[in-house]
Structure formats: C-alpha cells, structure tokens
Structure 1
Amino acid sequence: MARVRQERAEITRRAILDGAAVAFDHSGFDGTSLSDVVRHAGVTKGALYFHFQSKEALARALMDEQFQVAEGVDAIEDPGLQTVIDLTHQMAHALRTNARVRAGIRLLVEFGSFTDPDPTPYNSWIDTCHRCLVPAQERGDVHPGLDTHDLSTFLVGSFTGIQVTSHVRTARGDLHARVIDLWNYLLPGIAPADRFPLFDAEGSPDCRARLGLPGARSSAAAG
C-alpha cells in the first residue's frame, strides 16, 4: 500500500508540474495564479500545497528541470567543443517540444530581470560549458589564447538572446537554424584552422539522429 501511495503521489506531482508549465509558459510568473495551476493540472488545491508550498516553489522546480538536458555531460568520456554545440541543439529541441523546459526558461529570464536576480541557473550552464571547453582546449580544439570561462559565459548569453528573439519572432520555429548560424559565425574564432573541419554547427550525427534533425553537414563545417 505504501508503494501504491508513493506512485500516486508521484503521478500527482507530475500532473501539478505539467499544469504549472502550461500556465507559466502562457502567462509568466506574475500572470499565473495557483488557481490557474490547479485548473490546468486537474488537482485540488490541497494536493498542490501537499507537494509545493508556494508558487515560487513551483517555479523553482520547473527552472531546475532545464538542467536535465545537460545531465549526460558528466557521463561523456571526452566532452569537448562538439559537446557544447550538441547541447545548444538539445536545448533548442527541448524548448520547441517540452512545455516544462519552455516554462522553466521563461521563468529563468523573468527571475533574472527581478530586483534581486538569482544568477545560479546561468552559472550552472556556464559551468557545464566550461567543463567541456577546458579539455577541448587542452587537446588543441580551442585557440590557446581564449579564456574558456569567458567563452562559456559568452555562449550562454548568446544562446539566451537567440532563443528569446526566436520565440518572439517565430515561436521558436527557426531556433535550430539560428543556433546553426551562431556556430557558423563563432567556430572560426574558436577553433584553430586545422581543427575547424572536425566540428559540425548542425550537431553531431548522433545528436541529429536523437533529435530528428536533418542529417546534412553545414557547408562551413564540411569545408
């Protein structure tokens, strides 16, 4: 019976997060009430408060979920520059297909604009990129004169701006194309000329296969 109750509680928690994601994705933090969450989730307010004590607790849970996209990085034996490229495409795909990730990113941008912003989520993404770029630089895939932490900070800021612009202009319909543009413009300044052809702005073959993206290499990377 305890296991059944635990499973039911987890189902309810997932329903609450799904309902909150729909509400926050549509209306943002200030525009969403707990009544909106309850309506979208199909649960009672009592069930909501059992799992989450406040609207902010719900928002934090959704913001934390975006980092599931990067969970596999630590398991990669030799992370590098292509790993970071693939991560940007994985996040772009999640933004287009996963309401929880969309809500989490919207909340992240909104919380980052508050009077007392929390830099933790941005710093986590910067650290993830940095863990990939340090070994990449050590094996000669990143120009030796570049500061990999500054580069990681720039990449996270650039992706954030690109996804917001894509959201406003095309409801993120062109987001993968804009990510490809980002890397086609940046790779010549990041990778030495003799290493440049090793990297694909469109994502690695495995990444494209997992995300269902077109398989053709970009002309820049193929050159």
Structure 2
Amino acid sequence: MARQERAEQTRNAILEAAASRFDAVGFLGASLSEILAEAGVTKGALYFHFKSKEDLADALIDEQFTVWEPLSAIEEPGLQTVINLTQGMAASLLSDVRVRASIRLVIEHGSFITPAGNAYKRWIDTIHGCLLAAKAAGDLRKEINAHDLAHYVVGSFTGVQLSSQVLTGRSDLLERTTFMWTTILNSVVPPRRLHRFNPMGTPSTREPATA
C-alpha cells in the first residue's frame, strides 16, 4: 500500500507540474525537462506513468470533466444542470491549475499529434442529454433544437472564458457566465418558466470541483 501511495504521489506531482507549465506557456512552450524539474522527479519516474508529453496532456484534459462528478447524484438532470456545469467549470478555472491547463490544451488542440476534439464532443453530448430532458419537461420552447443549443452553449462558454482570460485574467468569469445564461434563458425558455432557473447556478455550484 505504501508503494502504491508513493506512486500516486509521484503521478500527482508530475501532473501538477505539467499543468503549471502548460497553463503558463502552452503545449509547445512546455518542455519535459521543465516539468521534471518542477515535479522533482526523474525521467524514469515520468516515463513509468506517462509515455510522452502528449500522454501527459491527454491525462490533464480529462481533469476538466471532474465537474461532472455530481451528475451521478442528480435524479432529474435538466436545464439548471447545464447552468450548474458551466458555472462549476468557471469556478474551477479560477481555482484549479489542472482545469486551466486542460482548457488551454483543448483550445490549442492543433498542437497535438491527435486533435482533442473529443473533449468538445463529450461536453456537447452531456449537455445535449440534459437539454433533451429539459425539452421533455417543457422547459425549452418548442422550436428549440436541443442539439443545436448544446453546440451553442459549449461555443458560447468557450468564447466567454477565453475573452475573460485575455481581458481580465478571468476575474470577471463568473459574472460573464451569469450574463451569458441570462441572455440564453430569455431566448430559449417559455416566459412562464423563467423563474425556475438561476443563471448564477444553484448554491453549491461555484464551489470548485475537486479531483
């Protein structure tokens, strides 16, 4: 057990160092030697856990999906679930270097041997499922296509978080995400049902997800 714990600690140290470098300088800018130095591990230890820098990046991209963990406890996911997911991601971007690195890596997917488009697809598919449930419950206007809206939400949030990063270092990200949702809700929800949804997310939403 002690050996397993040491191995896990080493793996986490490598991921933390890689996230720090990827977040700071991107995939191409980060070198394995810098990651090794920051993690304080040997090259052999790194290659025991990860085959390459691309493998490290793939592992970090998966970190962003920790925000999905509460989904399993939701009996009836719907539109508020999607709001909460994006607000939870916004909170994680402010507090978690691994999530920040994973988002930067996805945006810079052209730098990879294998593009990271699957990350977008996972988000779209998950949100689409929630929006289908929302439409069945009458929470979306009849003319709204749930799949198109899922694409739009992912694209909108990607743009919001990126512009927030560039303009304010993400200091206004929660506010901008709330405005995004206020605008979307007014466009897609029947007026009589608007009161059911909180564009800021439900109370625990802005607590950052933990890995």
Query: 1:159 is matched with which residue: 150, 157, 160?
Result: 157
1:42 and 2:40 aligned: yes
Q: Which runs of 4+ in 1 moved over 6 A?
A: 113-116
Alignment of structure 1 residues 1-223 onto 2, 5 Å? 3-112=1-110, 117-208=115-206, 210=207
CA contact (8 A) 1:92 1:175 kept: yes
Partner SS, residue 134 of structure 2: helix
Number of corresponding residues? 208
Q: Are 1:70 and 1:128, in contact at CA under 8 Å, matched by a contact in 2?
A: no
In structure 2, C-alpha distance between the alignment counterparts of 1:206 and 1:5, rounded to whole Å: 36
Offset at residue 68 of structure 1 (A) = 1.1
Whether the aligned pair in 2 keeps the contact of 1:17 and 1:62 (CA below 8 Å) is yes
CA distance in structure 1 between the partners assigned to 2:57 and 2:109 by the alignment: 10
Q: What SS does the aligned partner of 1:28 have?
A: helix
The 3-state SS of whatever aligns with 2:131 is helix
Q: Distance in 1 between matches of 2:26 and 2:177?
A: 25
Instruction: Please report how far the alpha carbon of residue 46 of structure 1 lies from its aligned counterpart in structure 2 after TM superposition.
Output: 1.2
In 2, Cα distance between equivalents of 1:193 and 1:202: 18
Q: CA deviation at 1:7?
A: 0.9
Q: TM-score, normalised by structure 2?
A: 0.94
The structure-2 alpha-carbon separation of the partners of 1:47 and 1:65, relative to structure 1 and needing over 3 Å to count, comes to same
- The residue identity in structure 1 corresponding to 2:134 is A
Alpha carbons 2:23, 2:97 under 8 Å: kept: yes
Task: State whether residues 124 and 150 of structure 2, in contact with CA within 8 Å, keep that contact through their aligned partners in structure 1.
Answer: yes
Q: Is residue 109–residue 117 contact of structure 2 (8 Å, CA) maintained in 1?
A: no
Contact 1:84 1:129 in 2 (8 A): yes
Q: Once the two structures are superposed, what CA deviation does each residue of 1:23-42 show, in whole Å capped at 9, x if it has no partner?
A: 10001000011001111111
For residues 70 and 205 of structure 1, the distance between their equivalents in structure 2, rounded to whole angstroms, comes to 16
| Higher relative contact order structure (alpha carbons within 8 Å, sequence separation ≥ 6) | 2
Q: CA RMSD of the aligned region, Å?
A: 1.5
Between the aligned partners of 1:143 and 1:152, the Cα distance in structure 2 is: 14
AA aligned opposite 2:176: R
Q: What code does the residue aligned with 2:181 have?
A: W
- The whole-number CA distance in structure 2 between the counterparts of 1:190 and 1:14 is 42
Structure 1 residue 112, shift from structure 2 partner: 4.9
Q: 1:113: how far off?
A: 6.9
Percent identity, aligned pairs only?
Answer: 52
Provide Cα deviations, 1:37-62, integer angstroms capped at 9, x if missing partner.
11111111111111111000000000
Task: Indicate conservation of the 8 Å contact 2:22/2:101, yes or no.
Answer: yes
